Chain A
Amino acid sequence: MMASERKTIRLRWGTLLIAALLALLCLLWVYPFLWLLSASLKEPLEIFSKGLNLIPDKAQWENYARAWSTAGFAQYMLNTILVTAGTVLLVVLHCALSGYVLGRYDFYGRRLIIGILGATFVIPAGMTIIPIVDLTQDLGLLSSRWGIILALAGSGQAAGILLYAGYFQRIPKELEEAAVIDGASFFTVFFKIMLPLAGPVTATVSVLTFLFAWNSFLIPLVFTFGSPELRTLAVGMLAFVGTNETDWPGMAAAATLSLLPVVILFFFAQRYLVEGFAGAVKS
């Protein structure tokens, strides 16, 4: 009796200790963001002179106004949302379709496709930009959001496909057999039964693609050289740094603005992310 009681007490202390350590660690993770937030409310020269002090002399809210309207971040935000939404939709659709087929069926060319997916999965992407520009130019899509979306959705989505394939593979065959007996077509089986079942994977792939598209840099950068009105937040950020050299508060404000939506999204979506992953890799 005594022994077990002592054990629970020790455990509780242990948990508290761990919690304290973790809290300390999290502070280390959050500090730069507090700094960012504080810098976004300071005056330019104040950033250097204040050292550890995060509280600005007087909150300079106009930094946000400047970033939002003058520097065009309102437009950048809209572009980023459109590009990200388009990319997520397209990626989920094409990954689900091909993942379904690759995971559940055997056919000519299956091994070849999986081999190519696996090989391109590990190739460092990004330096192959010129052919992508040429291609998009030939399609007449350079300087359009569609051009960016297609390029993002088409480059290196092997992980999404393989996630779907792994998941669909484990869904018992009886499910669709029953449906086929009821006269459902291949199409109906997929959209009415299989895709809804794959909810966790869809959530995972959506979140991963969201992060990828939201932060993607090189493709939006080179696709919008000639049309600044199509810049995304990440690109706009760089342009802002490049052309407003010493406006660090404005930059910090812009960075804070671009971070807010993703932080909120992650706070609510993290459960799906973990469960989705768990569901997707359980096998």
Chain B
Amino acid sequence: MAMGQGAAPASAGARKDGSAEEIARQVWQSRWLYVFLLPTVILYSAYTIWPIVASIRYSLLDWNGFDSDGVFIGLANYSELASDPQFWNAFGNTLMFLVLAVPLRVGLALVLAVALNDPRLPFVRVMRTALFLPVVTTGAIVGVVMRFVLDPTGGPINVALLDSGLLERPVNFLGQASLALYSAVAIWVWKWLGVTLIYWLAALQTIPKDLYEAASIDGAGHVEQFRYVTVPLLVPFLIIITLLTAVEATNVFDLLLTLTGGGPFYATEVIDIFVYRQAFAANIPRLGYASAAALFFGACIVLLAALQMAVRWQLRRRAGEAR
């Protein structure tokens, strides 16, 4: 995760001149390294890289999945994608989901982590387990259960709101197009908060205790300590945790499929569901089109991540110059 850029140079590669002989010698010298890498390289090429390469080919085909292979149609799938309002709706929903859910999850988890990091607090372990419960629950189960919990008539939330007189009519959390995406975001944050909480707790543990003591001696209160000690030291973690969370936020398939199926009227249809609908749920699957959508979106994510990395690198360089 936190890969330092300058890895420890050890056995090989101390001196590099370009000659083939020299390269061969060095490769031979570090043969054990390659043996160690072998399992990962094999597994990774087979199950991660090869599928991506194959998908690129599929995305150039008109293929219903019934025939053993499709018909080559060049970039037609991509140009159809560009003018498909439902694809852009799904794209927009995914971005909306990211923009709403990621800060909410990262922020809320930070607040909770700071609170739960307090050793004087009773029942910390039970509370952590409670918050972690939904994480270990399959998305499909969460989807089914939450449909009951949010139900407009029998669901406990609406029953409580109606009985207490706070509401006149039940709220249709999942059935109303304008609300469904927000409900989905809330449930997703609820489900995955525990993971981010763990990340933050781990990050907080890396802060040396003596820093707080020093700050305390200097007369800093709790708020000041948080502001001037905790926050600055957490910034690098913020970037990693946000990235991790954002990646997870693009993978909400099983939860949304059981929760709303992408509805009502595509209000919660994210890219995953769009792809699934094209590839499997339609009467006549369109595997090529689905692959094109998945790849296009994947490329956007990689681009986004690269952009973020570049900005980070720039910031670090500027900080280095300032020093």
Contacts and interface: CB of A to CB of B under 8 A. Distances in A.
A and B touch in the complex (CB under 8 A): yes
B144 A131 contact: no
B117 to A, nearest CB: 10
A281 B203 contact: yes
B47 A132 contact: yes
Contacts of A233: 138
B93 to A, nearest CB: 14
Contacts of A214: 136
Interface residues of A, number: 104
B135 to A, nearest CB: 7
A124 B33 contact: no
Contact of B8 (A119, A156, A173, A187): A173
Contacts of B65: 130
Nearest to B308: A122
Nearest to A251: B144
B225 interface: no
Contacts of A259: 133, 136-137, 141
Nearest to B162: A51
Contact of B133 (A30, A120, A186): A30
A108 B132 CA distance: 42
B26 A108 contact: yes
Contacts of B79: none
Contacts of A162: 1-3
B130 A131 contact: no
A165 B8 CA distance: 11
A237 B136 CA distance: 15
B125 A238 contact: no
Interface in A227-283: 233-234, 237-238, 241, 251, 255, 258-259, 262-263, 266-267, 270, 273-278, 280-283
A93 interface: yes
A171 to B, nearest CB: 9
B19 interface: no
B235 to A, nearest CB: 13
A283 B237 CA distance: 11
B138 A278 contact: no
Given A150-B47, A214-B136, A263-B129, 15 more contacts: A23-B127, A30-B130, A105-B11, A114-B3, A123-B302, A124-B247, A125-B251, A127-B275, A150-B46, A162-B1, A166-B3, A211-B135, A234-B140, A259-B133, A263-B133
Interface of A: 15, 18-19, 22-23, 25-26, 28-33, 35-36, 39, 47-49, 51-52, 90, 93-95, 97-98, 100-108, 110, 113-114, 116-117, 119-132, 134-135, 150-151, 153-157, 159, 161-163, 165-166, 169, 173, 186-187, 190, 211, 214-215, 217-218, 233-234, 237-238, 241, 251, 255, 258-259, 262-263, 266-267, 270, 273-278, 280-283
Which are the 10 A-B pairs with shortest beta-carbon distances? A154-B47, A277-B202, A128-B51, A154-B43, A131-B54, A98-B40, A278-B205, A94-B39, A262-B136, A278-B202
